[in-house]
Amino acid sequence: MLTQVKDLPSLPFVATKVMQLTTSPNTTMKQMEDVILKDSALASKVLKYSNSALYGRSGQITSMTDALVLLGFSTVKTIVIASSVKSMHSSGGRGYSAAGKTLWAHSVETGIAARLLAKLKRKDLVEEAFIVGLLHDIGKNIIESKLPGYVRQLVILKKKGDLTFEEIEEQVLGINHSELGAILCRKWNFPEILEKAIRFHHHPSSNKKEPILSHLACVSDAISYHLSTPPPNQPESEANILEMESSAFLELDRETFQEIVKEVQETVERDRKTFDL
């Protein structure tokens, strides 16, 4: 299996360079701006994201300088990554769809929910939570693009029994989408906390690095399914989500859950064009 997906996608040059610049304390605003502006399409997308409801700056940001000043390097880096990842979902992701949604739509909802939860539980991890939510299922996208013939088989097996996609992937492919996502994170030189969070987003307690990121992704993943229309084969009800181990870890109560669900719906609706949904 790994030999068949050895040519994993690379991040665009600009995104890679932005990540490098954000790790250096000596990076200037002009250096960051000059790099992003080298890719006009990406720069345009960054400005669209910057003015989205997600960041609460609607109409305030008209230039890359505005984005860097008002949002900061870390947030702009997150937006650059989000903009770059969207191109990897060009196929739509319908073969591996999540409860009737494309993988991209599901990933966006999960990312938004994770970001909102992190603002309440760990403000210092808000941007990391959004990235993990957005990329938690990137391994599925790899399977779709590199091994399209297997996807139908995986979906049929999922409908026939009670096994999870992870378990079926391991049986059929010898590796699951969470592991593939972690491998991709290593290739992209992402921080280990992001790699581990994605690797264990279905098993957060196994994450010994920064477990809260996996718990945030796990609950947010369930929230996206909860929002699904039509509902998935195994609907994620409010009661079931609140009984999850990750909800207990995050001390998520019914009122907060309902507020997050409402805000995710509103953000997605307002930013539908921004996220290309």
Exposure string over 69-84, b if 16+ CB within 10 A, otherwise e: eebebebbbbbbbbbb
Q: pLDDT per residue over 124-138, tens digit each?
A: 999 999 999 999 999
Q: pLDDT per residue over 91-121, tens digit each?
A: 555 556 655 568 899 999 999 999 999 999 9
Q: How many of the other CB atoms lie within 10 Å of CB of 37?
A: 14
Task: Give CATH 1.10.3210.10 domain extents, the chain.
Answer: 91-277
CA distance 188 to 77: 14
User: Residue by residue, what is the 3-state secondary structure of the chain?
Assistant: CCCCCCCCCCCCHHHHHHHHHHCCCCCCHHHHHHHHCCCHHHHHHHHHHHCCHHHCCCCCCCCHHHHHHHHCHHHHHHHHHHHHHHHHHCCCCCCCCECCECHHHHHHHHHHHHHHHHHHHCHHHHHHHHHHHHHCCHHHHHHHHHCHHHHHHHHHHHHHCCCCHHHHHHHHHCCCHHHHHHHHHHHCCCCHHHHHHHHCCCCHHHCCCCHHHHHHHHHHHHHHHHCCCCCCCCCCCHHHHHCCHHHHHHCCCHHHHHHHHHHHHHHHHHCCCCCCC
Q: Is the pLDDT of residue 173 over 80?
A: yes
pLDDT at 161: 76
Q: Is the pLDDT of residue 6 over 90?
A: no
pLDDT at 60: 82
Phi, psi of 84 (to 5 degrees): -70, -40
When pLDDT is cut at 50, 70 and 90, the band that residue 230 belongs to is low
> pTM of the entire structure?
0.89
Which has more pLDDT, 176 or 161? Answer: 176
Q: How many of the other CB atoms lie within 10 Å of CB of 254?
A: 11
Q: Mean pLDDT of all residues in the chain?
A: 87
What sign does the CA torsion over 26, 184, 197, 131 have? positive
Cis omega (within 30 of 0) for bond into 230: yes
Contact 245, 204 (CB under 8 A): yes
Contact 82, 114 (CB under 8 A): no
Q: Is the pLDDT of residue 85 over 70?
A: yes
When pLDDT is cut at 50, 70 and 90, the band that residue 4 belongs to is low
pLDDT at 128: 95
CA distance 127 to 54: 12
**What's the one-letter identity of residue 219?**
V
CA distance 202 to 163: 13
CA distance 247 to 238: 11
pLDDT at 84: 84
Cα-based distances in Å from 29 to 49, 154, 162: 19, 47, 52
Listed residue (107, 99, 152) closest to 134, CA to CA: 107
- In CATH, the number for domain 91-277 is 1.10.3210.10
CA distance 114 to 10: 25
